[in-house]
């Protein structure tokens, strides 16, 4: 197992290129189960999570060839309907094979993904959605077992206690595209990743209206064909790079970033005094020497992403004044507070709120990554800190950031990998 060793302090200069979206890639790969034809998925990021999904597809009977910048998925023989615990338990996103397996085969047996360190994330909305389409559902031995002789279109409301569910929306969409009749998803997730999935399904021959809105209407078709599709850029990686630039007071250029997908973050960063220039898929960061604090509340898209909460906290820990971060999506997603505090941050938690009093300087320390986005926050803090920071358990980081250390080295960061 590797660790990252960071020498904080050096200024950063140059450009960072954003990779393809992890959160779009996973359901799109799952959607290839809906056809026997060849699908080519371009701009898929080379990540631990991507490879987990590839392994799951292969275990279900798909053939996956990995190219330089694309994945080629085809079928040779029958597709299996059982998604094994050993793979699904390692990555919650793999639960999105439930919908396409049910739609294509009329049955699926998928392991429950369980909770994780950022809090319990149940699958009740997934179950509610497929039941509305006419499937019977049993939960037995740690598996969700769904069956339907014929799926039938219906109206389904997918709003939950913390807003709409991205994965539940994806699962219901993928089940509904081969159902009989029309399906209307109310309170559908509006995230760009759902729009990407809808675009891929449409390229395969699906009939979908309302992508990117809270109401998605799907008219079932008899069969889907293969498609050649390019994944959009990763808005969370792009947001992480913007926050990093501000934390380092560096006027970096971020390439392959969609400005419109980052409006909630850009609004908060502008509150601190940062200015931006945009040009097609390029964003230039203009940092002042002194920042002002800004408070944030996370919400489902287009609100401030919970997946940028930890990174923004690292920035506010270095910003003079008091800021408050409230997570309305995952109220328990604050494991990084303890590790940032080890580096000298002044943060206290009150329920779903974190109150941050900015300090002049963070100091390098050995820290432990608790989850994917907390890992990115610790990288930002380590680069901005004085002295050496060691980040342990970086396999979390590798789940969602493609070659992050190599990208940062190219813009002047002093960062290296070492064996534990």
pTM exceeding the 0.75 threshold for the entire prediction = yes
The span from the CA of 305 to the CA of 325, in Å, is 12
CB 202 within 8 Å of CB 186: no
Answer whether residue 109 is part of any domain: yes
- A 10 A CB-CB count for 241 gives 30
| pLDDT (0 to 100) of residue 121 | 58
Answer whether residue 211 is part of any domain: yes
Specify the number of domains making up the chain.
2
DSSP string, 308-323: GHHHHHHHHTTSSSEE
For 213-233, the pLDDT digits (tens) are 999 999 999 999 999 999 999
Answer whether residue 318 is part of any domain: yes
Residues 99 and 159 in one domain: yes
For 76-115, the pLDDT digits (tens) are 889 999 998 888 888 888 999 999 999 999 999 999 885 4
In the chain, how long is the greatest CA-to-CA distance?
A: 64
Residues 7 and 56 in one domain: no
What's the mean pLDDT in 267-277?
98
Last residue of a domain, one of 180, 209, 224: 224
Answer whether residue 275 is part of any domain: no
Polymer length in residues for the chain: 420
Please give the mean pLDDT across all residues of the chain: 95
Answer whether residue 31 is part of any domain: yes
Residues 61 and 174 in one domain: yes
Residues 218 and 307 in one domain: no
For 3-28, the pLDDT digits (tens) are 999 999 889 999 999 999 999 999 99
For 114-165, the pLDDT digits (tens) are 545 545 457 899 999 999 999 999 999 989 999 999 999 999 999 988 788 9
| pLDDT (0 to 100) of residue 266 | 98
Answer whether residue 135 is part of any domain: yes
Instruction: Write out the H or E segment, with its range, that includes residue 327.
Output: strand 322-327
Residues 7 and 37 in one domain: no
Instruction: Convert 329-355 to b/e letters by CB count within 10 Å (16 or more is b).
Output: bbbebbbbbebbebbbbebeeeebebe
**How many Å from the N-terminal Cα to the C-terminal Cα in the chain?**
6
Residue matched to tokens 């393809």: 20
Residues 52 and 151 in one domain: yes
Residues 168 and 92 in one domain: yes
Selecting among 39, 96, 116, 287, the annotated active-site residue is: 116
Residues 184 and 154 in one domain: yes
Report the share of the chain in percent with pLDDT over 70.
98
Answer whether residue 304 is part of any domain: yes
- The parent domain of residue 117 ranges over 22-224
Residues 13 and 66 in one domain: no
Kindly report the CATH number assigned to the domain that includes residue 356: 3.65.10.10
Last residue of a domain, one of 224, 245, 278: 224
Residues 191 and 47 in one domain: yes
CA distances from 314 to 89, 278, 289, 293 (A): 29, 25, 17, 12
**Residue 68 — very low, low, confident or very high, per pLDDT cuts 50/70/90?**
confident
Answer whether residue 262 is part of any domain: no
Last residue of a domain, one of 178, 201, 224: 224
Respond yes or no: is residue 96 known to be catalytic: no
């Amino acid at each position: 197992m590797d660790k990252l060793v960071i020498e904080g302090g050096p200024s950063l200069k140059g450009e960072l290129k954003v990779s393809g979206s992890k959160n779009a890639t996973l359901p799109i790969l799952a959607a290839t189960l809906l056809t026997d034809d060849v699908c080519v998925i371009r701009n898929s990021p080379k990540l631990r999570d991507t490879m987990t999904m590839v392994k799951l597809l292969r275990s279900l009977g798909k053939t996956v060839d990995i190219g330089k910048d694309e994945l080629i998925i085809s079928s040779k023989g029958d597709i299996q309907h059982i998604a094994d615990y050993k793979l699904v338990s390692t990555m919650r996103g793999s639960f999105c094979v439930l919908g396409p397996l049910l739609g294509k085969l009329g049955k699926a047996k998928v392991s429950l993904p369980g909770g994780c360190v950022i809090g319990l994330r149940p699958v009740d909305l997934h179950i509610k959605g497929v039941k509305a389409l006419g499937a019977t559902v049993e939960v037995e031995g740690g598996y969700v077992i769904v069956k339907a002789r014929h799926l039938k279109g219906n109206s389904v409301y997918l709003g939950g206690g913390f807003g709409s569910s991205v994965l539940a929306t994806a699962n219901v969409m993928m089940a509904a595209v081969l159902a009989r009749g029309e399906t209307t998803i109310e309170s559908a997730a509006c995230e760009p990743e759902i729009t990407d999935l809808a675009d891929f399904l449409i390229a395969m021959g699906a009939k979908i209206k309302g992508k990117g809105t809270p109401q998605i209407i799907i008219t079932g078709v008899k069969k889907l064909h293969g498609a050649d599709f390019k994944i959009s850029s990763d808005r969370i990686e792009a947001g992480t790079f913007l926050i990093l630039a501000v934390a380092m007071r560096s006027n970096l250029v971020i390439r392959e970033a969609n400005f419109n997908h980052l409006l909630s973050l850009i609004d908060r960063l502008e509150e601190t005094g940062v200015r931006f220039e945009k040009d097609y898929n390029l964003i230039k960061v203009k940092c002042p020497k002194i920042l002002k604090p800004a408070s944030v509340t996370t919400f489902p898209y287009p609100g401030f992403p919970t997946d940028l909460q930890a990174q923004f906290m690292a920035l506010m820990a270095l910003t003079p004044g008091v800021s408050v971060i409230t997570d309305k999506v995952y109220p328990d997603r604050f494991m990084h507070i303890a590790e940032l505090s080890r580096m000298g941050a002044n943060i206290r938690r009150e329920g779903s709120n974190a109150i941050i009093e900015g300090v002049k300087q963070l100091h390098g320390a050995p820290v432990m990554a608790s989850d994917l986005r907390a890992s990115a926050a610790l990288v930002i803090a380590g680069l901005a800190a004085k002295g050496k920071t060691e980040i342990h358990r970086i396999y979390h980081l590798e789940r969602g950031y493609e070659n992050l250390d190599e990208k940062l080295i190219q813009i002047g960061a002093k960062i290296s990998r070492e064996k534990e």
